[in-house]
Amino acid sequence: MFTNSVLTLQRLLGFAALTLVASVGFPQDEEGFSGRAGLGVLATSGNSDNKSINANFDLWWNHAPWGHSLKGGAIKSSTSGVTTAEANSLAWQSKYNLNDTDYIFGLIAWDTDKFSAYDQQLREAVGYGRHFLNTEKHLLSGEIGVGARQSDLRDGTSQSSTIGYLGGNYRWTISESSQFTQSLGIESGSDNTYLEATSALSAKMRDNLALIVAFTIKNNSDVLPGTEKTDTFTTISLDYRF
């Protein structure tokens, strides 16, 4: 479970020292192609033998009135050679801007999680989005849509349902060197309601390098017996942008 891989303060300090490059994405508005990539590593030995790795990337291509994004991520953690967390995700979204504040979008997302109630899930949605705030310091957008979800459960069964989708992103540029971001996604269907939220604080170290501290919570309303509904994980890492 991700709950078993939440980093203690001691691990966070070790993670900060051993991080190579890292990882938390938020919407990008610049024209043309841009991206970010990351890799975080933690390894301890002695009284305990722990290894953790998280890697992800975000790619953006904006050519008005279109905007496209592709993001992916992976996390794996082990203790004394036993895997305690393993998850992967990939998502694509395309947007068509109707004007400065309104847009329509389509998205498709896939994820796997070896230690959750769901071996893998695939979701597709289309909908409407709006920028409620779009200033130099604050960006706030919300999305609403409908779609479908296909899920493979750990007990070997499968589910397929229509879903309603709600999403939101907030970005606060605190200063030239620091930024806070918050993302939220809710997918609700007849068999399950899935929520994922990520909070991240970044501090720029160089022009294209920043230190990131992030906390993510994932919740499923309906899970198999003996499975936790909520998983959380915390990371501290470096972010490289290009």
CA–CA gap between residue 50 and residue 158 (Å, rounded): 34
Distance of CA 161 to the CA centre of its chain: 23
Question: Which residues lie across from 151 on neighbouring strands?
Answer: 121, 159
119: CATH = 2.40.160.40
| Each residue's pLDDT expressed in tens, for the chain with a length of 242 residues | 433 443 433 343 333 333 333 334 444 667 889 998 877 776 666 555 788 888 889 999 999 999 999 999 888 888 877 888 788 999 999 999 999 999 999 999 998 887 777 788 899 999 999 999 999 899 999 999 999 999 888 788 888 999 999 999 999 999 989 999 999 999 998 888 989 999 999 998 888 888 888 888 988 888 777 778 888 877 777 788 88
Q: Residue 28's pLDDT is what?
A: 60
CA–CA gap between residue 19 and residue 211 (Å, rounded): 10
Provide the domain count of the chain. 1
Q: Residue 5's pLDDT is what?
A: 41
Q: How is 150-201 classified by DSSP, letter by letter? A: EEEETTS-EEEEEEEEEEEEEEEE-SSSEEEEEEEEEEEESS-EEEEEEEEE
> Phi/psi zone of residue 32: left (φ > 0), alpha (ψ -120 to 50 degrees), beta?
left
- Chain position carrying tokens 């998205």: 107
Note the pTM of the prediction, 2 decimals.
0.77
Distance of CA 54 to the CA centre of its chain: 12
Q: Which domain holds residue 116?
A: 2-241
CA-nearest of 198, 192, 197, 194 to 219 is: 194
Q: Measuring CA to CA, how many Å separate 160 from each of 156, 163, 166, 191, 219?
A: 14, 10, 19, 8, 18
